[in-house]
Amino acid sequence: MSGYNLFEFADHISQSELAADERLKTLVVTLNAFGDTGHTQRLLNNHILNSLPNHEVGKFDFDQLHDYTDNRPGIVFEFDHFTDYQTPQIVLHEVTDDQGVPFLLLTGPEPSLRWERMASSIEALNEQLGIEQTIFLQAIPAPTPHTRPVFINAYASRPGLISDWDKLPATIQLQSSFTAMLAVRLGEASQDVLGLVAHIPHYLADLEFVDGPLALIKTLRKMEELDLPEGELHKISETTHAAIDSQVESSEELREVIEQLERRYDEFVARRTLTESGDEIPTADQIGAEVEEFLRQITEDESSLNDADSEDFEGKSDSDTG
């Protein structure tokens, strides 16, 4: 059964005009999954929707997609009554980038029910509106230091959409998110998929870390996909780094852990650089082993940071960009 009836266009939207716009070729998806590492997707959504012209295209019927008892919405009790019930929504926006190019942005929490119907609905929307590619923007916690550039890895539905150096040459068994499953279903329908994943320092996973959104924006521009403004994100990043560095400097244990992460990061980047230059080219198995070892360090480093009282980082994040 088609899941297309899960989506409803806003009253002011002309479906025929939207479908006739030949410039509209891209859908960007930032649906949360497994938590929003570094609040990357929320910060990115707020930044895009507060920085660029946009309007709502429509919404998905979230009541059919959400298990409320598993992830309960917020509400406020004020003296003698309840108020401010926070209704969850999955919203489709049309946004115009800095070059005047329109794109669609799908925001909201990950659906907990009817994944296949939701995927069918998005596939049908893409076909109706002439969308040629779907871009997933997300973040994961990784054993990487905040003192180095945010590493971005990419995935795609077919070879040629990304270069070899955007890939993680490793095979990792994971529990699926909705967006991962959606990427598979769109690829099976011969729709192009591009995914960009920001690697956020795992000790900052619960804090606002704007370096993630910044890295994703720069990567999109480098790949000539979308031209999104950086705005005030650089200034916020500088403030955040100053606060984090202050906490690190006050703890010798934290400094040692960060320095260890820096050495591993630099070794990993050096190997990639050597391979890219054609010198001492390792085999695919060797590269894969290095990546898997790099990712495995996250458990060890999380333990080290806990021992070093990583709670010092709490409350030191930047404020919402919105």
Answer for the pair 244, 204: CB distance below 8 angstroms, yes or no: yes
Name the CATH topology of 7-247.
Rossmann fold (3.40.50)
pLDDT at 3: 47
Residue appearing with tokens 């709670």: 311
Domains in the chain: boundaries:
7-247, 252-302
Q: What angle do CA 118, 62, 200 make, to 5 degrees?
A: 75
What is the arithmetic mean of pLDDT over 61-79?
Answer: 95
Q: Given a cut of 50, is residue 281 above it in pLDDT?
A: no
Pick from 86-90, 242-246, 284-288: least confident: 284-288
SS3 state of residue 194: strand
Q: What angle do CA 91, 97, 101 make, to 5 degrees?
A: 100
Which two tokens mark 313?
């980082």
pLDDT at 168: 79
Report the chain's mean pLDDT, rounded to a whole number: 88
Pick from 137-141, 189-193, 272-276: least confident: 272-276
Which among 29, 167, 190, 3 has a CA at the least distance from the CA of 107? 29
Pick from 47-51, 58-62, 73-77, 280-284: least confident: 280-284
pLDDT at 272: 73
Q: How far is CA 195 from CA 78, 98, 99, 150, 244, in A?
A: 43, 21, 22, 16, 29
Q: Given a cut of 80, is residue 315 above it in pLDDT?
A: no
Q: How confident is the model at residue 275 (pLDDT cuts 50, 70, 90)?
A: low
Dump strand ranges (E) for the chain: 7-9, 26-29, 54-60, 76-78, 81-83, 91-96, 102-107, 133-142, 152-156, 192-201
List of residues 6+ apart from 308 with CB closer than 8 A: 251, 253, 254, 256, 257
SS3 state of residue 9: strand
Q: Given a cut of 70, is residue 268 above it in pLDDT?
A: yes
Phi/psi of residue 257, nearest 5 degrees: -65, -45
The 8-class DSSP code of residue 36 comes to -
Q: How far is CA 104 from CA 23, 30, 91, 197, 251, in A?
A: 11, 11, 10, 19, 45
pTM to 2 decimals? Answer: 0.86
Dump strand ranges (E) for 97-222: 102-107, 133-142, 152-156, 192-201
Answer for the pair 93, 47: CB distance below 8 angstroms, yes or no: no
